Structure 1
Amino acid sequence: MKKVNKGVLVAQVNIYRSVLILLLICIVASILSKNFLSLSNLFNVIRQVAVGGLVAAGMTFVILTGGIDLSVGSIVGLTGALCAGILKSTDNMMLAILVAITVGVLCGCINGFFVAYCEIPAFIATLGMMTLLRGCVLVYTQGSPIAIKNASYKFIGKGNLLGIPLPILFVVFFFLLGHYILTKTAYGRAVYALGGSREAARLSGIRTKLVEWMVYVINGFMCAMAGIVLTSRLASAQSTGGEGIEMDAIAAVILGGTSLSGGSGFILPTVVGAIIMGIIDNLLTLMKIDPHATNIVKGAVILLAVLVDKKVNELSDR
């Protein structure tokens, strides 16, 4: 089987696997909690999934190249805090959003520069940025929440349009846009080529450093959007905002069928992975399980997903 066909086959198998896992989790959740299928709870899950889904959309681009970004949670926290701070001092929503997006893109530019042009391993570069930016959030907020009173801004995270939660419309729009970029543009094909074989991509004339740099820029932009949605939904910015979301995003991408080794996967099924992670969070809350135990479950899910991804790839090589 040709390599391209093999990659498509692996991705399709992973998609079916993800949908099956989602169905099983929904069945289990409905059995364990009678409130799970209530309309109000499902809407709550949808709103919660939106933030992680936006981050996971950007993370999909990064992982498709074989990279990783551990700084996404800190970027979400910083951009959200900046939004809240500017709104508190100026009440100018457009200025707050513009600054947040600019800072998110700038953080992505820096990550991409270190990874693509300085050739620092993505894990190390983004780990350093994660720590640096988290420090910036704590300094900016002084460890205290920043309340948001602007009604128009709060509508972004809490409002509905034609009965549909606005955050979900953002998720649908950006995932469809991401799907178009990855499947219908030369840049999207270059992302897959880079993840499949960096040397082959370079020899075919692809500007691999630029392509790699851009995925981190895209990721930074998506993190800024997530930070905006998060703070508008909570009507405040917390000094711990976005903490741990990097693990949710990585898990969502893997559960959605994108291979950690890069070059194989689709962005749309990442939504399935994000929903799975959201349902796990929601179910543990409904069951009144210790919040600290959530990390145990998420860690187990990530390990299991990585193991399955490895086995699927091994089977496809036979």
Structure 2
Amino acid sequence: MNQSNTSGLPLERASRRDFASLWQSYGTFGILVLLLIFCSIASPQYFLARENLVQVLLQSAVMVLLACGVFFTILIAGIDLSVGSVLALSGMVMAKLMMAGMPVWLAVLIGGVGVGALLGAVNGALVNLTQLHPFIITLGTAAIYRGVTLIISDSRSVFGFDRGFGDVVAGRAFGVPVPIIIAAAVAGFLFFITRYTKLGRNLYALGGNAQAAFYSGISVKLHTLVVFIISGSCAGIAGIVTTARTGAAEPNAGIGFETFAIASAIIGGTSFFGGRGQIAGVVIGGLIIGVINNILNIMNVESYYQQIVMGVLIIAAVTADKLFTRRRR
């Protein structure tokens, strides 16, 4: 005869459910801690150096920005494969505007954030108009945006703009690198939206059950548009940071970054099936990606092996999500 706990569930089933709950709450943080311990043992001289740890945070900043945007699209059971191309196009437009003599702050606002938001709005509008899955739409727009970037840049890097731009955006404030501050500020703002606003509650409801959300009065199309605008804006801000750090707008910037962004969100505990996830987990997921890339570089592992690691992590994270979700149910 099977023993039962106070909830009436067999002890084996209850323990599995408890483990699933613990994994979803603390699994990502546990992975980061174990990864840091491993890296510290594998390369204590280089990995634990203060300069290297700061570099990890700097490398993670762009990934966190992209992942925070992609998080919202995954939250409603969608996806955004165009963030890498949006990063490149927004950075290129911003650089062109600065080269044309536009004030830096206005070029950043229009070319960086504005273009990113506009491209995200195009993605959302196309999803609403065609009723196709965002995977198809953003796969197509990723190619379009990349092509436009190559056309307006003539496939050449744009550099030589105001040095003050790089000094500010890629510099330090109170001893902290500005890209890290930007990523933390954006993540904090988006955390507030998901946790304390009606928009955030509606997005979770929409991701959990779109049909039920529709019948409860939530505008599916409006929220879909807002989600892609957020994703595009985050990619635009990532384009600003990338351009400032490299000192040039590269037409091939951001290639493959969508994979890292999706991996950061999924590893961070965001359900690929929608309706569950937290910005805090996404930030930790971005740090995990940054640490992995950093230690592989320290160990002189070729970049194409890093792609393999990212692919394995995505498959493992989605598989674990599906398994634990089923067990909880």
Asked if 1:128 corresponds to 2:147, the answer is no
Alpha-carbon offset, residue 156 of structure 1: 4.0
Alpha-carbon offset, residue 95 of structure 1: 2.8
Q: Which amino acid aligns with 1:79?
A: S
Whole-angstrom CA distance in 2 between matches of 1:234 and 1:284: 21
Aligned counterpart, 1:266? 278
Alpha-carbon offset, residue 36 of structure 1: 0.7
Asked if 1:306 corresponds to 2:306, the answer is no
Instruction: Report if the CA contact (8 A) 1:10-1:264 is conserved.
Output: no
Whole-angstrom CA distance in 2 between matches of 1:148 and 1:95: 17
Asked if 1:29 corresponds to 2:68, the answer is no
* Alignment counterpart, residue 174 of structure 2, candidates 143, 162, 165: 162
Alpha-carbon offset, residue 148 of structure 1: 4.0
Asked if 1:287 corresponds to 2:308, the answer is no
The secondary structure found in structure 1 opposite 2:88 is helix
Larger Rg computed on CA atoms? 2
Asked if 1:49 corresponds to 2:60, the answer is yes
Asked if 1:19 corresponds to 2:18, the answer is no
Structure 2 gap ranges (5+)? 1-6, 8-18
Whole-angstrom CA distance in 2 between matches of 1:71 and 1:230: 16
Aligned counterpart, 1:6? none
Taking structure 2 as the reference length, what is the TM-score of the superposition?
A: 0.90
RMSD: 1.9
Change in 2 beyond 3 A, CA 1:148/1:18: farther
Identity %: 36
* Alignment counterpart, residue 94 of structure 1, candidates 80, 101, 105: 105
Q: Which amino acid aligns with 1:301?
A: L
Aligned counterpart, 1:71? 82
Whole-angstrom CA distance in 2 between matches of 1:12 and 1:237: 43
- For residues 61-91 of structure 1, give each alpha carbon's deviation from its aligned partner in whole angstroms, at most 9, with x where no partner exists: 1111011000000000111111222222326
Whole-angstrom CA distance in 2 between matches of 1:48 and 1:285: 12
The secondary structure found in structure 2 opposite 1:35 is helix
Asked if 1:278 corresponds to 2:278, the answer is no
Whole-angstrom CA distance in 2 between matches of 1:12 and 1:144: 49
Change in 2 beyond 3 A, CA 1:10/1:198: farther
Which stretch has the larger CA shift, 230-239 or 111-120? 111-120
Whole-angstrom CA distance in 1 between matches of 2:21 and 2:171: 35
Instruction: Report if the CA contact (8 A) 1:79-1:103 is conserved.
Output: yes
Change in 2 beyond 3 A, CA 1:283/1:94: same
Q: Which amino acid aligns with 2:23?
A: V
Alpha-carbon offset, residue 15 of structure 1: 3.6
Aligned counterpart, 2:257? 245
Whole-angstrom CA distance in 1 between matches of 2:21 and 2:260: 20
Alpha-carbon offset, residue 13 of structure 1: 3.0
Whole-angstrom CA distance in 1 between matches of 2:277 and 2:173: 31
Q: Which amino acid aligns with 1:94?
A: W
Aligned counterpart, 1:197? 209
Whole-angstrom CA distance in 2 between matches of 1:180 and 1:307: 29
What count of residue pairs does the alignment treat as equivalent? 312
Q: Which amino acid aligns with 2:283?
A: V
Q: Which amino acid aligns with 1:164?
A: V
Instruction: Report if the CA contact (8 A) 1:87-1:148 is conserved.
Output: no
Instruction: Report if the CA contact (8 A) 2:95-2:161 is conserved.
Output: no
